[in-house]
Amino acid sequence: MKRVEINAYGAPEEVAACVEAPDVGAPGPGEIVFDVLAFPINPADLSMCRGSYRLAPSLPATPGAECIGRITAVGAGVGDLKPGDLVINLQRENWAQRRRIKAADAVPVPGGVDLAQAAMLRINPPTAQLLIEDHVALKSGDWLIQNVANSAVGRHIIVLAHSRGIRTVNVVRRSDVDDTLKGLGADIVIADGADLAIRAREAVGGAPIRLGIDAVAGDATKRIAECVADDGVVVSYGSMSGEDCVMSRAAMGMRGVGLVGFMLGHGLAKRSPEAVRALYAELAGKLRDGALRAPVDSTYPIDDIKAAITQAQRGGRNGKVLVLPNGPLA
């Protein structure tokens, strides 16, 4: 069996390699075994390879926060899953051809969902939904502003907000995505820059923007905070700049703008296991209906993990890089 391992923390394309590993074996009681059909390369996976992620497991380690798999065997006592079922895995280490996990960590994916989209179900769709739901009680007609709007999370935020009547100001770093994001339901698409707050205020006609969503960090957090109305909230959920968030005293101290962090795991932990499964079922339905969709830039076999990682770090991509460890998707 093949899997990806890192033997040191460093440049992801250098430290990650596809290696031969012992098979996972037969499932024990309460376990399942599945073939990994596809996994995406996410910013957090790259950050884990670099050693800059919040989790730094002992080495060698296998990255991979999410995947879509097809069950090949179930152990004793597993009643609700059977061979052939599609599942996502709520645990990590998914950059491999096969996984053996606790059945309790598997969430079934209904038939009819595009497999590439299902491979990207575990993290970004619920992140988008919880970012919209958990920090400010927005109602139809309200505004939010987000940067990294062309990312998978950013696109899901546009679609999910639009479906609730919430209006979005979408901050991007390139102009060739304006029409695409507007096609998803974006109300305003605007380039980042020093005068962002002036342009954003003008674009919304002076209406209060009560929620700011930031995944760039550094001075970009400050710029988003300048766009947010008095007593509004900025939620930081990523750092594409690799920097820590910067906030001005003017925004925090004088206008009461709050800065909070978001981590999907914490957001899900506030919900019951039943609510988490219901959330995934709802989001899987949206993927199946085509309402939610993350574009795919390219696909690679697992042997070409270094090339896949290199492509995933290239700017100007048109979507996610996916790896297909067991061959082309049916």
The correct pick among 119, 132, 148, 308 for binding ligand NAP (CB under 6 A) is 148
- C-beta of 189: minimal distance to ligand NAP in Å? 12
Burial class for 298, CB neighbours closer than 10 Å (0-12, 13-18, 19+): middle
The span from the CA of 252 to the CA of 262, in Å, is: 18
Residue number, 123 or 229, with CB nearest to ligand NAP: 123
Residue number, 84 or 316, with CB nearest to ligand NAP: 316
The correct pick among 72, 180, 241, 326 for binding ligand NAP (CB under 6 A) is 241
CB 36 within 8 A of CB 325: yes
With b for 16 or more beta-carbon neighbours within 10 A and e for fewer, the 276-288 pattern comes to beebbeebbebbb
- C-beta of 218: minimal distance to ligand NAP in Å? 8
By rule CB under 6 A, what count of residues binds ligand NAP? 25
Three-state DSSP string of 20-61: ECCCCCCCCCCEEEEEEEEEECCHHHHHHHHCCCCCCCCCCE
Measuring CA to CA, which residue among 206, 203, 183, 208 is closest to residue 191?
203
The correct pick among 237, 305, 308, 323 for binding ligand NAP (CB under 6 A) is 237
- C-beta of 68: minimal distance to ligand NAP in Å? 16
173 binds ligand NAP (CB under 6 A): yes
Residues 6+ apart with CB under 8 A from 179: none
Candidates 23-31, 104-112, 121-129, 276-284; binding stretch for ligand NAP (CB under 6 A) = 121-129
Binding positions for ligand NAP, rule: CB under 6 A: 42-44, 123-124, 127, 148, 150-153, 173-174, 215-216, 237-238, 240-241, 262-264, 315-316, 320
